[in-house]
């Protein structure tokens, strides 16, 4: 028995030593960050900021690989199936939690196939309406929607998109009947809002704020739990008449499951340095983003809570990708 115990102890010690040695030589080659969206969006912007700083911190080239399509599931699947050696990372956002319920046949398991590294940023949305809609607060919007069931149309980038899920959360929590008009992206959805083809949208702050200032849309509230520096006069949804409503897009970095804990820990430490940096925070702020900082454990717990939260929303809405 003692001989067997000694053997197991020796094997465990060797495994630990190998893992430590591997982490010390990491990275041994270029690191890629898979961004499961097209170039030019918020996720891509964040990925390039991280890649620039990580290249300096790790001493190896860190590149962004855009693999968009199928609601981010193509790039996410590629990351999940990559070697768990820290040389392939995934920068994803709130859709990672949506998709766990929205897509019935994913090729990965959201909670089992990834090792969370850390949250990186968040971006609030704005409740915006066409100026012709006679409401100036969420409270008035709810009252009008209840008086005109099914007559207030809202736009989004399609079922399962961030604006859609935010609007669906509002529809369920406020108990209103509003009409969904899907588009092929947030850009055309917002264009038709400004043109008056639809009356409402929940749009990202970076998209909505410039047009709010021009008067092409009226902003009613911000969806985050606190007011934002870019529009301090704009109330939160809770302040404006939607108690308990809170919704922001989050962005986080992950690795394939099985990536050595020492590598995850090192990457997490480097990411926190980046997002705590004043220049990064200023860069993010200029694009309507708030820098975040978290441990791998905190991100893992948050991701699990988000998957559970949006599973309820998807089930109540009766929606799934086909």
Q: Is the pLDDT of residue 41 over 80?
A: no
CA distance 265 to 117: 7
Q: What is the average pLDDT across 217-243? A: 93
Query: Among residues 222, 240, 258, which one ends one of the domains?
Result: 240
Query: Among residues 240, 269, 289, which one ends one of the domains?
Result: 240
Is residue 105 located within the same domain as residue 141? no
Which CA distances in Å does 261 have to 22, 190, 257? 11, 43, 10
Is residue 176 located within the same domain as residue 310? no
For residue 140, being part of any structural domain is answered with: yes
Question: What global pTM score does this model have?
Answer: 0.82
Is residue 134 located within the same domain as residue 283? no
Is residue 109 located within the same domain as residue 22? yes
3-state secondary structure of 101: helix
Residue 310, domain extent: 14-123+248-317
Q: Is the pLDDT of residue 11 over 80?
A: no
Of residues 148, 150, 186, the one with CA closest to residue 165: 186
Is residue 79 located within the same domain as residue 31? yes
Q: What is the average pLDDT across 160-178? A: 92
Is residue 167 located within the same domain as residue 106? no
For residue 9, being part of any structural domain is answered with: no
Residue of 15 and 151 predicted with greater confidence: 151
Is residue 279 located within the same domain as residue 219? no
For residue 131, being part of any structural domain is answered with: yes
Out of 134-138, 159-163, 169-173, the most confident range is: 134-138
CA distance 318 to 294: 33
Q: Quick one: DSSP state of residue 209?
A: H
Is residue 148 located within the same domain as residue 295? no
Q: Quick one: DSSP state of residue 235?
A: P
Q: What is the average pLDDT across 147-172? A: 91
154 touches 160 (CB < 8 A): no
Of residues 207, 135, 225, the one with CA closest to residue 178: 135
Which pLDDT band holds residue 185 (cuts at 50, 70, 90)?
confident
Write down the pLDDT at residue 157. Answer: 83
CA distance 112 to 305: 14
Q: What is the average pLDDT across 100-112? A: 95
Of residues 152, 168, 172, the one with CA closest to residue 160: 168
The residue whose two tokens read 């300096």 is 56
CA distance 165 to 295: 27
Q: Is the pLDDT of residue 32 over 70?
A: yes
Is residue 234 located within the same domain as residue 173? yes
Write down the pLDDT at residue 175. Answer: 95
Query: Among residues 223, 240, 257, which one ends one of the domains?
Result: 240
Q: Is the pLDDT of residue 4 over 80?
A: no
Which CATH number is 282's domain given? 3.40.190.150
298 touches 309 (CB < 8 A): no
For residue 2, being part of any structural domain is answered with: no
Write down the pLDDT at residue 181. Answer: 95
Of residues 124, 120, 122, 92, the one with CA closest to residue 294: 120
Instruction: Tell me whether strands 153-156 and 179-182 are parallel, antiparallel or unpaired.
Output: parallel
For residue 113, being part of any structural domain is answered with: yes
Is residue 228 located within the same domain as residue 294? no
User: Would you state the structure tokens that stand for residue 168, as one six-digit string?
Assistant: 């669906």
Write down the pLDDT at residue 299. Answer: 98
Q: Is the pLDDT of residue 216 over 70?
A: yes
Range of lowest pLDDT (2-6, 45-49, 246-250, 251-255): 2-6
Q: Is 190 left (phi over 0), alpha (psi -120 to 50) or beta?
A: alpha
57-99: pLDDT as tens digits? 999 999 999 998 888 899 999 999 999 999 999 999 999 999 9
252 touches 119 (CB < 8 A): yes
The residue whose two tokens read 């009226």 is 218
> What is the share, in percent, of the chain residues with pLDDT greater than 90?
72
Residue of 14 and 71 predicted with greater confidence: 71
The residue whose two tokens read 């962005």 is 251
Q: Which residues of 95-104 are buried (b: 16+ CB within 10 A; e: fewer)?
A: bbbbbbbbbe
268-311: pLDDT as tens digits? 999 999 999 999 999 888 777 899 999 999 999 999 999 999 99
Is residue 227 located within the same domain as residue 154? yes
For residue 218, being part of any structural domain is answered with: yes
CA distance 180 to 178: 7
Which pLDDT band holds residue 196 (cuts at 50, 70, 90)?
very high
Write down the pLDDT at residue 204. Answer: 87
The structural domain count of the chain equals 2
110-154: pLDDT as tens digits? 999 999 999 999 999 999 999 999 999 999 999 999 999 999 999
Is residue 64 located within the same domain as residue 109? yes
For residue 277, being part of any structural domain is answered with: yes
Which CATH number is 227's domain given? 3.40.190.10
Of residues 133, 236, 233, the one with CA closest to residue 193: 133
Range of lowest pLDDT (21-35, 107-121, 222-236): 21-35
For residue 3, being part of any structural domain is answered with: no
């Amino acid at each position: 028995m003692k001989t067997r115990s000694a053997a197991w102890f020796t094997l465990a010690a060797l495994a630990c030593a190998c893992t430590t040695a591997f982490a010390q030589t990491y990275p041994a080659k270029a690191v890629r960050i898979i961004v499961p969206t097209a170039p030019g969006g918020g996720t891509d912007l964040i990925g390039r900021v991280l890649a620039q700083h990580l290249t300096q911190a790790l001493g190896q080239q860190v590149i962004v690989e855009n693999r968009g399509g199928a609601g981010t599931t193509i790039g996410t699947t590629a990351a999940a199936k990559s070697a768990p050696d820290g040389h392939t990372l995934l920068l994803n956002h709130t859709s990672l939690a949506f998709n766990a319920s929205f897509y019935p046949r994913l090729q990965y398991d959201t909670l089992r196939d990834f090792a969370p590294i850390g949250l990186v940023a968040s971006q609030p949305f704005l409740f915006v309406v066409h100026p012709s809609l006679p409401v100036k607060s969420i409270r008035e919007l709810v009252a009008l929607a209840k008086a005109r069931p099914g007559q207030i149309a809202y736009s989004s980038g399609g079922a399962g998109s961030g604006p859609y899920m935010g609007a669906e959360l509002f529809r369920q929590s406020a108990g209103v009947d509003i009409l969904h008009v899907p588009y092929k992206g947030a850009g055309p959805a917002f264009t038709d809002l400004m043109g008056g083809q639809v009356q409402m949208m929940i749009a990202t702050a970076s998209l909505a704020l410039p047009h709010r200032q021009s008067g092409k849309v009226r902003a009613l509230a911000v969806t985050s739990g606190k007011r934002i520096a870019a529009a301090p006069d704009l109330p939160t949804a809770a302040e404006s008449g939607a108690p308990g409503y809170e919704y922001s897009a989050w962005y986080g970095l992950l690795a394939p499951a099985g990536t050595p804990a020492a590598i995850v820990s090192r990457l997490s430490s480097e990411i926190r340095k980046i997002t705590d940096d004043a220049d990064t925070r200023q860069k993010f702020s200029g694009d309507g983003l708030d820098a975040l900082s978290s441990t791998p454990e905190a991100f893992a717990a948050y991701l699990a809570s988000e998957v559970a939260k949006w599973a309820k929303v998807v089930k109540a809405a009766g929606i799934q990708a086909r």
